Chains A and B, each alone.
Chain A
Amino acid sequence: MVSISRRELLTWFALAPTLPRFLVQSAHAAAPDAAGDQPIVVVVRMLGGNDGLNAVVPFRDDRYYKARPTIAIPSHDVVRMTAEHGLHPQLIDVRRLIDEGHAGIVQGVGYAQSSRAHARATEIWETGSTAEDAPVHGWLGRYLDHACECGTSPTAGVQFGDALGRTLSTASGISRSIGNPRLLLDMDPQVLGAVRAATPSNRFAYLRQMENALGDASRQLHRAANGTGRRFDYPDTSFGQSLRWAGDMIETGCPTRVYYVTIGSFDPPDAPSFDTHIDQVGKHQLLFSELGRSVRAFADHMRRAGQFNRVLLLTFSDFGRMVAENRTRGTEHGDASILFYVGGAVRAGLVGEPSDLGRVRDGALEATVDFRQVYADVLEHWLRVDPRRILGDTHNPFPIVKA
Chain B
Amino acid sequence: MLSSAASHAAPMSPQMPAHSRSSLTLAERRHLLRRFAFAAIPAGERALEGLSADQAVTRLVAGARSAALPAAPAIVQGEWRNAALRSRGMADATYDALRAAQLQAARRDTEVLRQWWIGEMTAGRSPLRENLTLFFHGVFGSTTTAVDIPHALYGCNALLRRECLTTIPALLERLVLDPAMMMQIGTDEHRKARVSDRPAKLILDYWTVGAGQYADSDVESLSRALTGWRLAAQGGDAALPVDPSAVRAARRTGLVPTFDPQQFDARPKTILGTTSDFDARSAIRHLAAHPATATRFSRELIRHFGVEDSDHRLAGRLAARYASSHGSIEAMLRDLAMSEEFWSPSSRWALIKSPVHLVVGACRQLEMASPPISVISGWLSAAGQTLFDTPNTGEGGWPGQETWVTPPDRLAVRYQLPIVLAGRMPDLGLHNAAAPEPGARARVRMGRTIERQSSAGLFDRLDAAPGLDATAMTKGSRDDIIRRTMMTPQYQLA
Chain A residues with a Cβ under 8 A of chain B: 17-18, 160, 162-164, 176-188, 191-192, 194, 196-204, 206-208, 210-211, 213-214, 217-218, 225, 230, 234, 236, 238, 241-242, 244
Contacts and interface: CB of A to CB of B under 8 A. Distances in A.
B469 A203 contact: no
A201 B350 contact: yes
B435 A185 contact: yes
B458 interface: no
A242 B406 CA distance: 20
A200 to B, nearest CB: 7
Nearest to B494: A203
B352 interface: yes
A236 B432 contact: yes
Interface string B247-278: 00000000000000000000000000000000
Contact of B351 (A200, A203, A206, A211): A203
A122 to B, nearest CB: 18
A225 B493 contact: no
B411 interface: yes
Interface string B402-441: 1001111111110110000000001111111111100000
Contacts of B466: 197, 199-200
A199 B406 CA distance: 20
Interface string B332-362: 0000000000000110111110000000000
B490 interface: yes
Contacts, number: 144
A183 B426 contact: yes
Contacts of B82: none
Most buried by B among A163, A207, A225, A242: A207
A96 B267 CA distance: 71
B493 A191 contact: no
B45 to A, nearest CB: 21
Given A203-B352, A210-B405, A196 B488 contact: yes
Contacts of A18: 435
A178 B483 CA distance: 23
A310 to B, nearest CB: 25
Contacts of B487: 188, 191-192
Contact of A210 (B408, B432, B434, B469): B408
B493 A207 contact: yes
9 contacts: A185-B436, A191-B415, A196-B488, A199-B490, A200-B348, A201-B465, A207-B352, A207-B411, A213-B408
Most buried by B among A182, A208, A214: A182
Interface residues of B, number: 45
Contacts of A202: 346, 350
B413 A201 contact: no
B484 interface: yes
Nearest to B107: A268
B78 interface: no
Contacts of B416: 183, 186
Interface in B469-490: 469, 472, 483-484, 487-490
Nearest to A216: B408
A151 to B, nearest CB: 20
A204 B434 CA distance: 33
Given A200-B345, A204-B467, 7 more contacts: A178-B409, A181-B430, A199-B490, A201-B465, A203-B352, A218-B412, A230-B434
Nearest to A206: B402
Given A199-B465, A214-B411, A241 B405 contact: no
Contacts of A185: 433, 435-436
B430 A204 contact: no
B468 interface: yes
B174 to A, nearest CB: 32
B7 interface: no
B187 interface: no
A217 B350 contact: no
A204 B490 contact: yes
Nearest to B402: A206
A238 B430 contact: yes
Contacts of B365: none
A207 B468 CA distance: 14
A279 to B, nearest CB: 13
Contacts of A200: 345, 348-349, 466
B401 interface: yes
A236 B433 CA distance: 9
A182 B413 CA distance: 11
B407 A164 contact: yes
Interface string B182-215: 0000000000000000000000000000000000
B492 interface: yes
* Nearest 9 CB-CB pairings of A with B: A207-B489, A179-B409, A214-B408, A197-B467, A213-B408, A199-B465, A236-B432, A199-B467, A201-B349
Given A160-B430, A185-B436, A236-B431, A180 B412 contact: yes
A330 to B, nearest CB: 16
Contact of A187 (B415, B469, B472): B415
A51 B405 CA distance: 37
Interface in B131-171: none
Nearest to A242: B430
Nearest to A187: B412
Nearest to A177: B407
A230 B405 CA distance: 31
A164 B435 CA distance: 25
A2 to B, nearest CB: 27
Contacts of A238: 429-431
A32 B336 CA distance: 57
A230 B411 CA distance: 27
B408 A196 contact: no
Contacts of B412: 180, 183-184, 186-187, 214, 218
B433 A182 contact: yes
A206 B467 CA distance: 15
B463 to A, nearest CB: 13
A182 B405 contact: no
A183 B428 contact: yes
B199 to A, nearest CB: 23
A196 B434 contact: no
Given A182-B436, A207-B489, A214 B467 contact: no
A281 B488 CA distance: 49
A230 B401 CA distance: 38
Given A177-B409, A182-B436, A217-B408, A203 B493 contact: yes
A196 to B, nearest CB: 5
Given A225-B435, A230-B432, A242-B430, A184 B409 contact: yes
Given A183-B412, A196-B490, A199-B467, A210 B484 contact: no
A17 B435 CA distance: 9
A179 B436 CA distance: 17
A178 B467 CA distance: 29
Most buried by B among A191, A201, A214: A201
B411 A211 contact: yes
A238 B430 CA distance: 5
Nearest to B490: A199
A249 B432 CA distance: 15
B389 to A, nearest CB: 12
A234 B433 CA distance: 12
B484 to A, nearest CB: 6
A70 B413 CA distance: 45
Contacts of B467: 196-199, 204
Contacts of B402: 203, 206
A399 B351 CA distance: 53
A180 B432 contact: no
Nearest to A185: B436
Most buried by A among B349, B411, B432, B489: B489
